[in-house]
Amino acid sequence: MKKCGYIAIIGRPNVGKSTLLNHILKYKVSITSRKPQTTRHQITGVKTVKNAQFIYVDTPGLHQDEPRAINRMMNRQAMSVINDVDVVLFVVEVGKWTAAEEWILQKLGSVKVSVILVINKVDQLHNRQQEQLFEKQIRQKYHFAASFLISAKQGHLITELEQTIEQYLPVSEHFFYAEDQVTDRTERFMIAEIIREKLMRTLGQEVPYQLTVEINKCKFDEQRQLMEIFATILVERMGQKAMVIGSKGQKLKKIGSEARKDIEYMLGKKVFLELWVKVKEGWSDDERALKSLGYDL
Ligand SMILES: Nc1nc2c(ncn2[C@@H]2O[C@H](COP(=O)(O)OP(=O)(O)OP(=O)(O)O)[C@@H](O)[C@H]2O)c(=O)[nH]1
Ligand SMILES: [Mg+2]
Protein backbone atom coordinates (compact mmCIF):
# COMPACT_ATOMS: atom_id res chain seq x y z
CA MET A 1 0.00 0.00 0.00
CA LYS A 2 1.36 3.38 -1.05
CA LYS A 3 0.88 6.84 0.37
CA CYS A 4 1.22 10.02 -1.65
CA GLY A 5 0.14 13.58 -1.04
CA TYR A 6 0.75 17.31 -1.04
CA ILE A 7 2.10 19.33 1.86
CA ALA A 8 2.04 23.14 1.81
CA ILE A 9 4.65 25.08 3.76
CA ILE A 10 3.20 28.44 4.76
CA GLY A 11 3.96 31.26 7.19
CA ARG A 12 5.10 34.86 7.47
CA PRO A 13 8.23 35.88 5.51
CA ASN A 14 11.62 34.91 6.92
CA VAL A 15 10.53 32.19 9.37
CA GLY A 16 12.59 29.50 7.59
CA LYS A 17 10.12 27.75 5.25
CA SER A 18 12.56 27.33 2.37
CA THR A 19 15.40 26.31 4.68
CA LEU A 20 13.11 23.61 6.07
CA LEU A 21 12.21 22.30 2.62
CA ASN A 22 15.85 22.19 1.53
CA HIS A 23 16.77 20.33 4.68
CA ILE A 24 14.03 17.75 4.19
CA LEU A 25 15.05 17.17 0.58
CA LYS A 26 18.81 17.33 1.25
CA TYR A 27 18.84 19.39 -1.93
CA LYS A 28 18.51 23.10 -2.52
CA VAL A 29 15.35 23.63 -4.54
CA SER A 30 14.32 26.88 -2.91
CA ILE A 31 16.52 29.93 -2.42
CA THR A 32 16.95 31.46 1.04
CA SER A 33 18.24 34.70 2.49
CA ARG A 34 18.12 36.81 5.61
CA LYS A 35 15.75 39.22 3.89
CA PRO A 36 11.99 38.69 4.10
CA GLN A 37 10.07 37.88 0.90
CA THR A 38 12.85 35.86 -0.68
CA THR A 39 10.57 33.20 -2.17
CA ARG A 40 8.32 34.55 -4.93
CA HIS A 41 6.89 31.39 -6.48
CA GLN A 42 5.38 28.11 -5.43
CA ILE A 43 8.28 25.67 -5.39
CA THR A 44 7.60 21.97 -5.51
CA GLY A 45 9.98 19.60 -3.77
CA VAL A 46 9.41 15.85 -4.02
CA LYS A 47 10.73 13.22 -1.65
CA THR A 48 10.06 9.51 -2.03
CA VAL A 49 10.90 7.16 0.81
CA LYS A 50 9.95 3.50 0.45
CA ASN A 51 6.16 3.46 0.12
CA ALA A 52 5.54 7.15 0.65
CA GLN A 53 5.85 10.13 -1.65
CA PHE A 54 5.83 13.58 -0.08
CA ILE A 55 5.11 16.46 -2.45
CA TYR A 56 6.02 19.67 -0.64
CA VAL A 57 5.01 23.10 -1.89
CA ASP A 58 7.11 25.96 -0.55
CA THR A 59 5.28 29.29 -0.77
CA PRO A 60 6.08 33.01 -0.60
CA GLY A 61 5.82 34.41 2.94
CA LEU A 62 2.34 35.78 3.65
CA HIS A 63 2.28 39.48 4.44
CA GLN A 64 -0.44 42.01 5.01
CA ASP A 65 0.80 45.04 3.14
CA GLU A 66 0.49 44.61 -0.57
CA PRO A 67 1.95 47.74 -2.15
CA ARG A 68 2.61 46.34 -5.60
CA ALA A 69 1.15 43.77 -7.98
CA ILE A 70 4.02 41.42 -7.23
CA ASN A 71 3.16 41.41 -3.51
CA ARG A 72 -0.48 40.66 -4.20
CA MET A 73 0.60 37.89 -6.53
CA MET A 74 2.88 36.40 -3.87
CA ASN A 75 0.07 36.31 -1.32
CA ARG A 76 -2.29 34.75 -3.84
CA GLN A 77 0.32 32.10 -4.62
CA ALA A 78 0.65 31.21 -0.97
CA MET A 79 -3.06 31.26 -0.13
CA SER A 80 -4.28 29.40 -3.20
CA VAL A 81 -2.29 26.34 -2.29
CA ILE A 82 -3.79 25.67 1.13
CA ASN A 83 -7.08 24.37 -0.21
CA ASP A 84 -5.43 21.98 -2.63
CA VAL A 85 -3.16 20.05 -0.27
CA ASP A 86 -3.50 17.22 2.23
CA VAL A 87 -1.39 18.76 4.99
CA VAL A 88 -0.40 22.32 5.86
CA LEU A 89 2.80 23.08 7.77
CA PHE A 90 2.30 26.43 9.47
CA VAL A 91 5.83 27.62 10.21
CA VAL A 92 6.47 30.24 12.91
CA GLU A 93 9.55 31.45 14.75
CA VAL A 94 9.92 30.49 18.39
CA GLY A 95 8.89 33.33 20.73
CA LYS A 96 7.63 35.51 17.90
CA TRP A 97 3.88 35.59 17.51
CA THR A 98 2.94 38.68 15.53
CA ALA A 99 -0.13 40.22 13.89
CA ALA A 100 0.88 38.40 10.71
CA GLU A 101 0.54 35.03 12.45
CA GLU A 102 -2.89 35.99 13.86
CA TRP A 103 -3.96 36.96 10.36
CA ILE A 104 -2.74 33.67 8.86
CA LEU A 105 -4.50 31.73 11.60
CA GLN A 106 -7.76 33.43 10.67
CA LYS A 107 -7.27 32.33 7.08
CA LEU A 108 -6.61 28.78 8.23
CA GLY A 109 -9.91 28.83 10.09
CA SER A 110 -11.81 27.77 7.01
CA VAL A 111 -9.56 24.99 5.73
CA LYS A 112 -10.43 21.34 6.12
CA VAL A 113 -6.94 19.85 5.90
CA SER A 114 -4.73 18.92 8.82
CA VAL A 115 -2.53 21.76 9.99
CA ILE A 116 0.75 20.99 11.75
CA LEU A 117 2.35 23.78 13.76
CA VAL A 118 6.10 23.99 13.14
CA ILE A 119 7.95 26.23 15.57
CA ASN A 120 11.33 26.92 14.02
CA LYS A 121 14.69 28.41 15.06
CA VAL A 122 14.81 26.81 18.52
CA ASP A 123 18.60 26.98 18.26
CA GLN A 124 18.25 30.74 18.79
CA LEU A 125 16.50 30.48 22.13
CA HIS A 126 18.18 27.63 24.04
CA ASN A 127 15.50 27.67 26.70
CA ARG A 128 13.43 24.51 26.87
CA GLN A 129 10.93 25.94 29.35
CA GLN A 130 10.23 29.04 27.28
CA GLU A 131 9.94 26.98 24.11
CA GLN A 132 7.38 24.66 25.66
CA LEU A 133 5.41 27.54 27.11
CA PHE A 134 5.30 29.20 23.69
CA GLU A 135 4.16 25.94 22.09
CA LYS A 136 1.41 25.53 24.69
CA GLN A 137 0.14 29.08 24.22
CA ILE A 138 -0.04 28.77 20.44
CA ARG A 139 -1.69 25.36 20.56
CA GLN A 140 -4.56 26.89 22.50
CA LYS A 141 -5.36 29.17 19.56
CA TYR A 142 -6.22 26.49 16.99
CA HIS A 143 -6.95 22.77 16.61
CA PHE A 144 -3.50 21.81 15.27
CA ALA A 145 -3.06 18.16 14.31
CA ALA A 146 0.38 18.20 15.93
CA SER A 147 3.21 20.57 16.81
CA PHE A 148 7.00 20.45 16.70
CA LEU A 149 9.81 22.59 18.05
CA ILE A 150 12.48 22.36 15.36
CA SER A 151 15.60 23.91 13.96
CA ALA A 152 15.55 23.84 10.16
CA LYS A 153 19.12 25.05 10.10
CA GLN A 154 20.52 22.37 12.38
CA GLY A 155 18.11 19.62 11.36
CA HIS A 156 16.69 19.22 14.85
CA LEU A 157 13.53 17.01 15.05
CA ILE A 158 12.90 17.07 11.31
CA THR A 159 12.79 13.28 10.94
CA GLU A 160 10.10 13.14 13.59
CA LEU A 161 8.17 15.86 11.78
CA GLU A 162 8.36 13.87 8.53
CA GLN A 163 7.08 10.74 10.27
CA THR A 164 4.04 12.64 11.49
CA ILE A 165 3.42 14.14 8.05
CA GLU A 166 3.41 10.62 6.59
CA GLN A 167 0.54 9.65 8.87
CA TYR A 168 -1.58 12.34 7.26
CA LEU A 169 -0.80 11.46 3.64
CA PRO A 170 -3.66 9.78 1.78
CA VAL A 171 -3.41 6.23 0.48
CA SER A 172 -2.73 6.15 -3.25
CA GLU A 173 -2.40 3.47 -5.89
CA HIS A 174 0.57 5.16 -7.47
CA PHE A 175 3.04 7.98 -7.01
CA PHE A 176 2.49 11.27 -8.85
CA TYR A 177 6.18 11.84 -9.61
CA ALA A 178 9.09 9.60 -10.59
CA GLU A 179 10.81 8.24 -7.49
CA ASP A 180 14.07 10.05 -8.22
CA GLN A 181 12.49 13.41 -9.11
CA VAL A 182 13.18 16.29 -6.73
CA THR A 183 11.31 19.18 -8.32
CA ASP A 184 9.15 20.00 -11.30
CA ARG A 185 10.84 23.34 -11.87
CA THR A 186 13.00 23.62 -14.98
CA GLU A 187 16.78 24.06 -15.07
CA ARG A 188 16.29 27.57 -16.48
CA PHE A 189 14.06 28.54 -13.58
CA MET A 190 16.51 27.17 -11.02
CA ILE A 191 19.38 29.09 -12.64
CA ALA A 192 17.42 32.38 -12.52
CA GLU A 193 16.61 31.72 -8.86
CA ILE A 194 20.25 31.05 -7.94
CA ILE A 195 21.23 34.38 -9.49
CA ARG A 196 18.40 36.11 -7.64
CA GLU A 197 19.55 34.53 -4.38
CA LYS A 198 23.02 36.03 -4.77
CA LEU A 199 21.44 39.42 -5.53
CA MET A 200 19.18 39.17 -2.47
CA ARG A 201 22.13 38.26 -0.28
CA THR A 202 24.57 40.84 -1.63
CA LEU A 203 22.50 43.98 -2.10
CA GLY A 204 21.15 46.39 0.53
CA GLN A 205 17.59 46.96 1.57
CA GLU A 206 15.56 48.32 -1.30
CA VAL A 207 17.06 46.93 -4.51
CA PRO A 208 16.32 43.18 -4.10
CA TYR A 209 12.59 43.86 -4.13
CA GLN A 210 12.74 45.80 -7.34
CA LEU A 211 14.69 43.33 -9.40
CA THR A 212 14.06 40.13 -11.25
CA VAL A 213 16.19 37.82 -13.37
CA GLU A 214 15.52 36.71 -16.91
CA ILE A 215 17.48 33.95 -18.66
CA ASN A 216 18.12 34.92 -22.27
CA LYS A 217 20.18 31.97 -23.34
CA CYS A 218 21.17 28.70 -21.75
CA LYS A 219 22.88 26.27 -24.06
CA PHE A 220 25.58 23.64 -23.84
CA ASP A 221 28.57 24.49 -26.03
CA GLU A 222 29.98 21.17 -27.27
CA GLN A 223 33.22 22.68 -28.48
CA ARG A 224 34.09 24.41 -25.22
CA GLN A 225 32.40 21.71 -23.13
CA LEU A 226 30.55 24.22 -20.98
CA MET A 227 27.11 25.60 -20.38
CA GLU A 228 26.74 29.10 -21.78
CA ILE A 229 24.31 31.22 -19.83
CA PHE A 230 23.29 34.79 -20.61
CA ALA A 231 20.97 36.45 -18.10
CA THR A 232 19.51 39.91 -17.60
CA ILE A 233 18.87 41.49 -14.23
CA LEU A 234 15.92 43.84 -14.55
CA VAL A 235 15.67 46.76 -12.14
CA GLU A 236 13.18 49.61 -11.89
CA ARG A 237 15.46 52.66 -11.97
CA MET A 238 18.85 53.87 -13.19
CA GLY A 239 20.13 54.36 -9.64
CA GLN A 240 19.42 50.72 -8.89
CA LYS A 241 21.37 49.64 -11.94
CA ALA A 242 24.40 51.46 -10.58
CA MET A 243 23.95 49.76 -7.20
CA VAL A 244 23.83 46.29 -8.76
CA ILE A 245 26.93 46.93 -10.84
CA GLY A 246 28.90 48.58 -8.02
CA SER A 247 32.02 50.63 -8.32
CA LYS A 248 34.19 49.36 -11.17
CA GLY A 249 31.71 46.52 -11.64
CA GLN A 250 32.91 44.80 -8.46
CA LYS A 251 29.49 43.94 -7.09
CA LEU A 252 28.16 42.38 -10.26
CA LYS A 253 31.38 40.43 -10.61
CA LYS A 254 31.02 38.98 -7.12
CA ILE A 255 27.35 38.11 -7.69
CA GLY A 256 28.20 36.44 -11.00
CA SER A 257 31.05 34.42 -9.60
CA GLU A 258 29.02 33.15 -6.60
CA ALA A 259 26.07 32.28 -8.82
CA ARG A 260 28.31 30.50 -11.32
CA LYS A 261 29.77 28.25 -8.62
CA ASP A 262 26.30 27.20 -7.41
CA ILE A 263 25.05 26.63 -10.96
CA GLU A 264 28.09 24.49 -11.74
CA TYR A 265 27.41 22.44 -8.64
CA MET A 266 23.74 21.99 -9.57
CA LEU A 267 24.42 21.04 -13.19
CA GLY A 268 27.65 19.14 -12.62
CA LYS A 269 29.08 21.05 -15.58
CA LYS A 270 31.43 23.96 -16.19
CA VAL A 271 29.51 27.19 -16.71
CA PHE A 272 30.15 30.44 -18.51
CA LEU A 273 27.83 33.08 -17.06
CA GLU A 274 27.29 36.57 -18.41
CA LEU A 275 25.07 39.02 -16.55
CA TRP A 276 23.54 42.23 -17.87
CA VAL A 277 21.61 44.85 -15.96
CA LYS A 278 18.68 46.60 -17.61
CA VAL A 279 16.13 49.16 -16.45
CA LYS A 280 12.49 48.20 -16.97
CA GLU A 281 10.43 50.77 -15.14
CA GLY A 282 7.46 49.58 -13.13
CA TRP A 283 7.76 45.86 -13.93
CA SER A 284 6.87 44.81 -10.38
CA ASP A 285 3.56 46.66 -10.39
CA ASP A 286 2.48 45.68 -13.87
CA GLU A 287 0.54 42.43 -14.16
CA ARG A 288 1.32 42.02 -17.84
CA ALA A 289 5.02 42.53 -17.32
CA LEU A 290 4.97 40.07 -14.41
CA LYS A 291 3.31 37.44 -16.53
CA SER A 292 5.79 37.82 -19.35
CA LEU A 293 8.62 37.57 -16.82
CA GLY A 294 7.42 34.15 -15.73
CA TYR A 295 5.36 34.96 -12.64
CA ASP A 296 2.22 32.84 -12.31
CA LEU A 297 -0.55 35.24 -11.43
N1 LIG B 1 19.05 30.34 13.61
C2 LIG B 1 18.27 29.81 12.67
N3 LIG B 1 18.08 30.48 11.51
C4 LIG B 1 17.28 29.91 10.59
C5 LIG B 1 16.64 28.66 10.80
N6 LIG B 1 15.90 28.38 9.70
C7 LIG B 1 16.10 29.41 8.84
N8 LIG B 1 16.92 30.33 9.36
C9 LIG B 1 17.39 31.59 8.74
O10 LIG B 1 16.27 32.45 8.56
C11 LIG B 1 16.43 33.23 7.37
C12 LIG B 1 15.21 33.06 6.48
O13 LIG B 1 15.16 31.74 6.00
P14 LIG B 1 14.29 31.33 4.72
O15 LIG B 1 14.29 29.85 4.66
O16 LIG B 1 14.73 32.09 3.53
O17 LIG B 1 12.86 31.86 5.19
P18 LIG B 1 11.45 31.82 4.42
O19 LIG B 1 10.41 31.56 5.44
O20 LIG B 1 11.53 30.87 3.28
O21 LIG B 1 11.33 33.31 3.91
P22 LIG B 1 10.48 33.93 2.65
O23 LIG B 1 10.82 33.13 1.44
O24 LIG B 1 10.97 35.31 2.57
O25 LIG B 1 9.05 33.84 3.03
C26 LIG B 1 17.72 32.74 6.71
O27 LIG B 1 18.76 33.63 7.07
C28 LIG B 1 17.93 31.37 7.33
O29 LIG B 1 19.29 30.98 7.38
C30 LIG B 1 16.88 27.97 12.04
O31 LIG B 1 16.39 26.89 12.32
N32 LIG B 1 17.68 28.61 12.93
MG1 LIG C 1 11.29 31.15 1.29
Neighbours of ion ligand 2 (CB under 5 A): 17-18, 38-39
User: Based on the domain organization, do 135 and 268 belong to the same domain?
Assistant: no
pLDDT of the chain, 297 residues: tens digit per residue: 899 999 999 999 999 999 999 999 999 999 999 999 999 999 999 999 999 999 999 999 999 888 899 999 999 989 999 989 999 999 999 999 999 999 999 999 888 899 999 999 999 988 899 999 999 999 999 999 999 999 999 999 999 999 999 999 999 999 999 999 999 999 999 999 999 999 999 998 889 899 999 999 999 999 999 999 999 999 999 999 999 999 999 999 999 999 999 999 999 999 999 999 999 999 999 999 999 998 987
Judge whether 115 lies within some domain.
yes
CA 21, distance to chain mean position in Å, is 8
| Residues 23 and 98 occupy one common structural domain | yes
At 125 the pLDDT is 84
Q: Does 254 fall in a domain?
A: yes
Domain boundary among 139, 172, 205: 172
Q: Is residue 182 included in any domain, yes or no?
A: no
The pLDDT of residue 66 is 82
163 and 233 together in one domain: no
How many CB atoms within 10 Å of residue 204? 8
**Residues 157 and 28 grouped into a single domain:** yes
pLDDT number for residue 117: 98
> Ligand 1: does its nearest atom lie under 6 Å from the Cβ of 42?
no
Q: Does 243 lie in the same domain as 161?
A: no
- Inside any domain, residue 220: yes
| Residue 180 is assigned to a structural domain of this protein | no
Q: Is there an atom of ligand 1 within 6 Å of 107 CB?
A: no
From 146, 172, 198, the end of a domain falls on: 172
Residues 163 and 229 in one domain: no
* Closest ligand relative to 32 C-alpha: 1
74 & 208 share domain: no
Q: Is 119 left (phi over 0), alpha (psi -120 to 50) or beta?
A: beta
Q: Of ligand 1's atoms, which has the minimum distance to the CA of residue 12?
A: 25
**Domain check: are 141 and 85 in the same one?**
yes
Ligand 2 centre to CA of 40 (Å) is 8
Q: Side chain identity at 209, as an amino acid letter? A: Y
Give the whole-angstrom CA distance, residue 233 versus residue 227: 19
The residue whose C-alpha atom lies closest to atom 30 belonging to ligand 1 is 121
**DSSP category for residue 178:** -
Rg from Cα positions in the chain: 20
* Nearest ligand, measured from the Cα of 126: 1
Containing structural domain, residue 161:
2-172
pLDDT score, position 209: 92
Q: Best mutation site among 9, 19, 202 for ligand 1, i.e. most ligand atoms within 8 A of its Cβ?
A: 19
Question: How many domains is the chain partitioned into structurally?
Answer: 2
Say yes or no: CB of residue 16 within 6 Å of ligand 1.
yes
Q: Do residues 121 and 242 share a domain? A: no
155 lines ligand 1 (CB under 6 A): no
How far does residue 62's CA lie from ligand 2's centre (Å)? Answer: 10
Which residues make beta-bridge pairs with 117? 90, 147
Phi-psi region of 267 (alpha: psi -120 to 50; beta: other; left: phi over 0): alpha
Instruction: Report whether residue 48 contacts ligand 1, using a CB cutoff of 6 Å.
Output: no
* Residue 84 falls inside a structural domain: yes
| Domain end call among 172, 204, 232 | 172
Q: How would you classify the pairing of strands 87-93 and 146-149?
A: unpaired
CATH number (domain holding residue 224): 3.30.300.20
* Crossing angle between the packed helical segments 238-245 and 250-267, to the nearest 10 degrees: 70
Domain shared by 47 and 106, yes or no: yes
Query: What CATH number is given to the structural domain containing 111?
Result: 3.40.50.300
Report if residue 265 sits inside a domain.
yes
145/255 same-domain check: no
- Dist. CA 20 → ligand 1 center (Å): 8
